[in-house]
Every structure is written in C-alpha cells, then in structure tokens.
C-alpha cells in the first residue's frame, strides 16, 4: 500500500476517537430513549469491529484502520438530523463528507493527502459498483483504501453486525418499508432479490429492497460476498463466532430466516446460504470432523 504520513494518520485517529466517544457518552447519559441509544451503540460497535477486522486483514495497516474508524462517521449526523439511519432520505456517505468539510472550516481538521484518501473512502465505500461513473472519481490510492473498507464493512455487517440490529429494525420499522407500503406482507421476498441471493450476487439495497425479507437477504448476501471473497476464511470464522445470544452467526441467520422469511422459502434460502458457507470452507462441518 501507498506510504502515508503516520503523524497525520495519528491525528485523524484521535479525531475519530474523540468524535465517537462524544456519541458514546451521549448514549449512556440517559438523554436518549432506549431504542435510539441501542441503535447508535450498535453502529459504534460495528465501527469498532470494522477497525479490528481491517487490522486483521491488512496486518495492522494504519491507513486501513483509520479509514475503517471514519468510514461511517456520517451515521452520527444522519441520526441527529433524521432520528434514524435513513439512507433513503440522505446518504450517510454525503453526510460524512459534509462533516469532514465542516471540520476543516472549523479548523478541527486540516487538509492532507491522508484525509483526502479517507474522505473518498467515506464517500464511496460499499457503492462503487452502483455508481455509473463516466470515469472513476477516485484516485488510485483512495480506490485501494475504499475497496479494503468495503470488503471489511461487508465482512462485519454480513457475518456479525446484521444479526445484532436487523430484528430491532424489523420490529421498529426503521427502514419504513411497512410505512411506505402498509398492505405489503413484509415476509415476502421480491423475485429479483431471490435471484440475486441464489447467485450470491450483491444488489442495490436502495432500489431492490421492498420488504424486511428482502433486507434480511441483502445482509446474507453481504456474508456470501465475503464467503466468496479473498478473505473467505475470515468470513467463515466470523460466521462461526457466538454473537448476540446466538450459538454462532450461522445459527442466528437460520433463526431469523425462519422467523421473518416467507415460510415456503425460509429453509430453501438457508440451504442456499449454507452451501456458500460449505463452499468457502471446502467441507461441510456438520458431516466432517475438522
Ligand atoms: Fe457505511
Ligand atoms: Fe459500515
């Protein structure tokens, strides 16, 4: 990876720590209701795990770790403004970029190559393939960091994070699918989503998800992408980790599929998901001794 100035990265790391801590304290101060505090704290937990995974897969590369710590910084102003993580109203990518610009105006951050690379990762993580660029707006260095962040983001969201927040989002209609479509059965899977899912292909959540069943399969596709990617061993390991009261993440998905997917599709969907897991491992852990 490109050589970056360590002292610049150190300052950005410190800025991120202070900024995140401010929200962590706000969550624990009792001024927010329980749902808000829980949603924000699970986002903070996602950010922290992302930093850890970024460190693990890059051999503790400082740029990757600081970019991971800042990649979702726009989630905080998004929550302040909208009271939820509503990318359908204002993307957290843009709010992250807006926050960085305001911090520069306020002299809390100063422009640098390092900040420039990170703000491109903030702006484009997880969506480079859905933006019909005429030419890539990213520098080569920023594209490299953005790709790492997108991979690590999917690793955490798909293999661990989603299991901690999806059920709450379904219950509280956080994505407003039900509000937008009160008569629609939220366990129905859109045919196109099921096709993407069966192929283990990532799709655009913003345009394709209409129900919580779709959204649940989107999370599973992030895990499948990781199981097909260059860090498939890390993905399988994360999916075997106990989390959020589940024996492991795979069992968590199984429970959520049975609970929230159309009953005629739930087990078929789990079998598809499980087959990607077996493929990544190279053997079926339920029938083979390790
Ligand atoms: Fe994000
Ligand atoms: Fe993220």
**286 alpha carbon – ligand 2 mean position (Å):** 31
Distance, CA 15 to ligand 1 centroid (Å)? 18
pLDDT, residue 128, reads: 82
Question: For position 285, what pLDDT does the model report?
Answer: 87
- CB 152: neighbour CB atoms within 10 A? 29
CA 255–ligand 2 middle distance (angstroms): 24
Predicted pLDDT of residue 22: 97
How far is the centre of ligand 2, averaged over its atoms, from the C-alpha of 16 (Å)?
A: 14
| Chain segment 235-267, per-residue pLDDT in tens | 999 999 999 999 999 999 999 999 999 999 999
pLDDT band at 132 (very low <50, low <70, confident <90, very high): low
Nearest residue to 64 (alpha-carbon basis) of 1, 136, 21: 1
228-237: long-range contacts at Cβ-Cβ below 8 A with a sequence spacing of 24 or more?
A: 228/200, 228/276, 228/279, 228/280, 229/151, 229/154, 230/151, 231/57, 231/151, 231/155, 232/280, 233/280, 234/53, 234/56, 234/57, 234/155, 235/155, 235/158, 235/159, 235/280, 236/277, 236/280, 236/281
Backbone angles phi, psi at 3, to 5 degrees: -80, 130
What are the angstrom distances between the C-alpha of 64 and each of 59, 237, 257? 10, 21, 33
* 184 Cα–ligand 2 center, Å: 29
- CA of 179 from ligand 2 middle (Å) equals 25
For ligand 2, the distance from its centroid to the CA atom of residue 278, given in whole angstroms, is: 26
Which ligand neighbours the alpha carbon of 54 most closely?
2
Top CATH class of 1-152 equals mainly alpha
Q: Compute, in angstroms, the gap from residue 287 CA to the centroid of ligand 1.
A: 37
In the structure, ligand 1 is a single-atom ion and the residues with CB under 5 Å from it are 72
pLDDT in tens, 46-87: 999 999 999 999 999 999 999 999 999 999 999 999 999 999
Token match 């990607």: residue?
276
Structure tokens at 218: 């989107």
The ligand minimizing its distance to the Cα of 50 is: 2
Q: Separation of 118 CA from ligand 1 center, angstroms?
A: 13
CA of 52 to the centre of ligand 2 (A): 13
Report yes or no on whether pTM surpasses 0.75. Answer: yes
Summarize pLDDT for 172-228 with one digit per residue, the tens: 999 999 999 999 999 999 999 999 999 999 999 999 999 999 999 999 999 999 999
The Cα–Cα gap between 11 and 17 comes to 10
Percent of the chain with pLDDT over 90: 88
* Residue 68 to residue 146: CA distance in whole angstroms: 9
pLDDT of residue 35: 87
pLDDT for residue 286: 84
Q: Which ligand is nearest to the CA of 161?
A: 2
Mean of the per-residue pLDDT values for the chain? 94
Cα of 163 to ligand 1 centre, how many Å?
A: 16
Domain ranges of the chain: 1-152, 175-290
Q: Which ligand is nearest to the CA of 95?
A: 1
In which residue are the tokens 């950005």 written? 12
Write the DSSP string, the chain. Answer: -----HHHHHHHHHHHHHHHHHHHHHHHTT-S-HHHHHHHHHHHHHHHHHHHHHHHHHTS-HHHHHHHHHTTTTHHHHHHHHSS--TTTS-HHHHHHHHHHHHHHTTSS---HHHHHHHHHHHHTTTGGGS--SS--S-HHHHHHHHHHHHHHHHHIIIIIHHHHHHHHHHTTTT-HHHH-TTS-TTPPPHHHHHHHHHT----HHHH--SHHHHHHHHHHHHHHHHHSTTHHHHHHHHTS-BTTBSSHHHHHHHHHHHHS-HHHHHHHHHHHHHHHHHHHTS-TTTS--
How far is the centre of ligand 1, averaged over its atoms, from the C-alpha of 14 (Å)? Answer: 20
- What integer pLDDT is reported at residue 261 of this predicted model? 98
Alpha carbon of 154 to ligand 2 centroid (Å): 8
Residue 35 and residue 58 in contact, taking contact as beta carbons nearer than 8 Å: no
Length of the chain: 290
């Amino acid at each position: 990876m490109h050589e970056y100035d360590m002292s610049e990265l150190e300052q950005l790391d410190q800025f991120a720590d202070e900024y995140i801590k401010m929200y962590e304290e706000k969550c624990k101060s009792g001024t927010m209701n329980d749902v808000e505090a829980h949603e924000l704290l699970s986002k903070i937990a996602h950010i922290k795990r992302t930093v850890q995974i970024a460190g693990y897969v890059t051999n503790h590369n400082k740029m990757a770790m600081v970019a991971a710590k800042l990649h979702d910084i726009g989630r905080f102003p998004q929550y302040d403004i909208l009271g939820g993580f509503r990318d359908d109203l204002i993307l957290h990518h843009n709010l992250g970029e807006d926050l960085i610009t305001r911090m520069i105006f306020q002299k809390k951050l100063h422009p640098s190559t390092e900040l420039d690379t990170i703000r491109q990762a903030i702006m484009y993580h997880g969506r480079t393939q859905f933006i019909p660029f005429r030419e890539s707006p990213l520098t080569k260095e920023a594209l490299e960091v953005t790709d790492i962040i997108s991979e690590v983001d999917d690793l955490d969201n798909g293999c661990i994070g989603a299991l901690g927040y999806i059920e709450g989002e379904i219950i509280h209609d956080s994505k407003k699918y039900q509000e937008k479509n009160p008569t629609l059965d939220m366990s129905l899977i859109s045919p196109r989503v099921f096709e993407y899912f069966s192929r283990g292909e990532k799709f655009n959540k913003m345009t394709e998800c209409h129900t919580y069943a779709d959204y649940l399969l989107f999370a599973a596709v992030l895990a499948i992408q990781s199981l097909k990617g260059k860090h498939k061993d890390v993905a399988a390991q994360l999916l075997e980790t106990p989390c959020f009261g589940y024996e492991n993440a795979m069992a968590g998905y199984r429970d959520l599929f049975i609970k929230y997917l159309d009953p005629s599709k739930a087990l078929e969907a789990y079998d598809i998901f499980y087959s990607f897991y077996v493929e990544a491992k190279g053997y079926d852990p339920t029938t083979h001794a390790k």
